[in-house]
Amino acid sequence: MLTSSNSNPSGNASSGHSPNDGLDDNPFGHGMSIADLAKQIADQANEETADEPAIQKSDASEPKISQPQNDAPSTYDPSAYDPSTYDPSTYGLTATSDAVAYDETAIAAAYAAAFDAEISEVQEIVQPQSTPHSQAIPAFSSTFPPEPPPHASERLLPYLNPDTVVQWDPAEIAIAPLPVYSQGMLANAYFFGNPRWNKKYLEEEHRGSAFCDRWHHALRRLNDDPFDMSSGWDNKVVVDLGCGPGNLFQTLGGTPATLIGVDISYGALRRAQQLGYTALLADAHHLPLQSGIADVVVANALLHHCDDMARVLAEAARLVKPGGYLITDLDPQRSAWDRRGWGLWIQQIKLPNLPGLGDSVEEQAWRIATEVHNRQPGVGIEASLYSQILTPWGFDVQLYPHNHHVGAEVFLGEKGRSPLKTRLSQRLSGLDPAGAEAAQSIMCVARRTA
């Protein structure tokens, strides 16, 4: 029996080979246990793997997409924007208690700078990136994952004029060229862009039951079945001109196939976008959309906010396909606001706002500035303008004058009743408050027959 030249610490003789013959004879030296050997081999393998370049997919299998590296949130919260950042002087405007002064020399540069600054505040939506080592093995599923929603450009591009070049900002809002920028456009961009004011407008305006009833009955004319009580714009291509923060869709609901919201206010479009609108910042006088694309074009309380009501009405008509509808509402009728003498004096009486109640003086001033054709008596839209513009486009025009607080009865000739102050003012101005010419607003429902 051979003995080892080395003795173990216990004094017991040991053979030259351990019971695990051959395993102790390893490149890392004698005396290392099996567990230590396994650990060292694993560590060496990990070090070699770390030194190897990551496996890259070929360009043919998948395009490389560069994503910005930042901590931007995955969702956009419109309320995160600070209303105090909206400074009237930034837009070349000065708000007063009863008017808005227009500084023509400051408009182009000041508004462009403010607009760029506003866009730069929008944070890009970034998907979290992972490495091969941090990816978890997904559980088996017999169904495919849902497809991500299409980018706004995929929804809008089929309807844009081919020669129109729009810019897409990180929030997926399309920004069309603006050939003209007037005082009224600036006021509308500012007022409806203020996040505090447009939130209040969305929550409080055009939300009543009479408004909802009136519009639902108008839209049901799009249904083939006259007994179909579903929303008329379901599965239809809808263009909402002057959509603001999204009041019409928020109130009426429904499931349009495509819902394009057009407005001059970037801030309003960001809020409308959260409701489901495909947002397009454009001038209603120069729409970058193709002709005959829409099943229905809606324009609620829009025309009197625009400099040239006839041109905007013609642009809206151009978008409607044969068999489609153009529906407008809540534009002031000129004849109803033609006050004189004591009637004018009564109409101009206004009670002051108490602290903490009603709109602020600043908010009132800016809102008045947005209503280009509703700032003073004798302005508004003539009922004859609708037929004058729409008939040459092949529309069958139906007008429904009303006093706001009336629902579907308006289609039976009901006009509703105006407030006492309005009735008294009209009576003293020589108007019959019960007559059609005294109705404060006009709803137009026009079907394109050719």
Q: Which of 89, 113, 137 is the last residue of a domain?
A: 113
Phi, psi of 175 (to 5 degrees): -115, 110
Concatenating the DSSP letter of every residue in 197-234 gives HHHHHHHHSS-SHHHHHHHHHHHGGGSSSTT--S-TTT
Mean pLDDT along residues 302-328:
96
pLDDT at 93 over 70: no
- Are 171 and 268 part of one and the same domain? yes
Q: Which of 113, 137, 163 is the last residue of a domain?
A: 113
- The share of the chain scoring above pLDDT 70, in percent, equals 65
Angle of CA points 65, 67, 68, to nearest 5°: 155
pLDDT at 271 over 90: yes
Closest to 291 in 3D by CA, of 161, 388, 174: 161
Rounded CA gap, 142 and 326, in Å?
Answer: 46
Is residue 355 situated within a structural domain? no
Is residue 279 situated within a structural domain? yes
- Are 217 and 316 part of one and the same domain? yes
Better-predicted residue by pLDDT, 284 or 426: 284
Q: Which residues pair with 443 in a beta bridge?
A: 400
Is residue 163 situated within a structural domain? yes
Give the amino acid at 402.
H
Is residue 47 situated within a structural domain? no
How many domains are there within the chain? 2
- Are 303 and 225 part of one and the same domain? yes
Mean pLDDT along residues 254-275:
95
DSSP 238: E
pLDDT at 21 over 50: no
pLDDT at 66 over 50: no
Place of tokens 């003209």: 180
pTM for the full predicted model: 0.69
Q: In Å, how far from its chain's centre is CA 391? A: 32
For the purposes of burial, counting CB atoms within 10 Å of the CB of 362, is it exposed (0-12), middle (13-18) or buried (19 or more)? Answer: middle
Q: Quote the tokens at residue 132.
A: 């091969």
Rounded CA gap, 249 and 100, in Å?
Answer: 31
- Give the mean pLDDT of the chain: 74
Furthest CA-CA distance within the chain: 136
Is residue 308 situated within a structural domain? yes
Better-predicted residue by pLDDT, 348 or 196: 196
Q: Quote the tokens at residue 290.
A: 């193709």
The domain spanning residue 223 has which CATH number?
Answer: 3.40.50.150
pLDDT number for residue 44: 52
- Are 234 and 99 part of one and the same domain? no
pLDDT number for residue 340: 75
Is residue 422 situated within a structural domain? no
Q: Report how far apart, in Å, the C-alpha atoms of 290 and of each of 172, 265, 270, 386 are.
A: 20, 21, 23, 22
Angle of CA points 29, 31, 32, to nearest 5°: 75
Is residue 18 situated within a structural domain? no
pLDDT at 4 over 70: no
- Are 198 and 322 part of one and the same domain? yes
- Are 200 and 327 part of one and the same domain? yes
Is residue 345 situated within a structural domain? no
- Are 185 and 327 part of one and the same domain? yes
Better-predicted residue by pLDDT, 359 or 268: 268
- Are 170 and 310 part of one and the same domain? yes
Q: Quote the tokens at residue 200.
A: 């209040």
Mean pLDDT along residues 116-145:
38
**How many residues in the chain?**
450
pLDDT at 272 over 90: yes
- Are 310 and 232 part of one and the same domain? yes
Least trusted range by pLDDT, from 41-50, 52-61, 170-179, 436-445: 52-61
Mean pLDDT along residues 178-206:
91
Least trusted range by pLDDT, from 31-35, 77-81, 178-182, 304-308: 77-81
- Are 84 and 191 part of one and the same domain? no
- Are 160 and 215 part of one and the same domain? yes
- Are 108 and 196 part of one and the same domain? no
pLDDT at 13 over 50: no
pLDDT at 71 over 60: no
Domain that holds residue 315: 155-335+381-416+439-448
Say what angle helices 195-204 and 361-370 make with each other, to 10 degrees.
Answer: 80
Better-predicted residue by pLDDT, 224 or 94: 224
Closest to 213 in 3D by CA, of 331, 336, 329, 332: 329
Q: How confident is the model at residue 449 (pLDDT cuts 50, 70, 90)?
A: very high
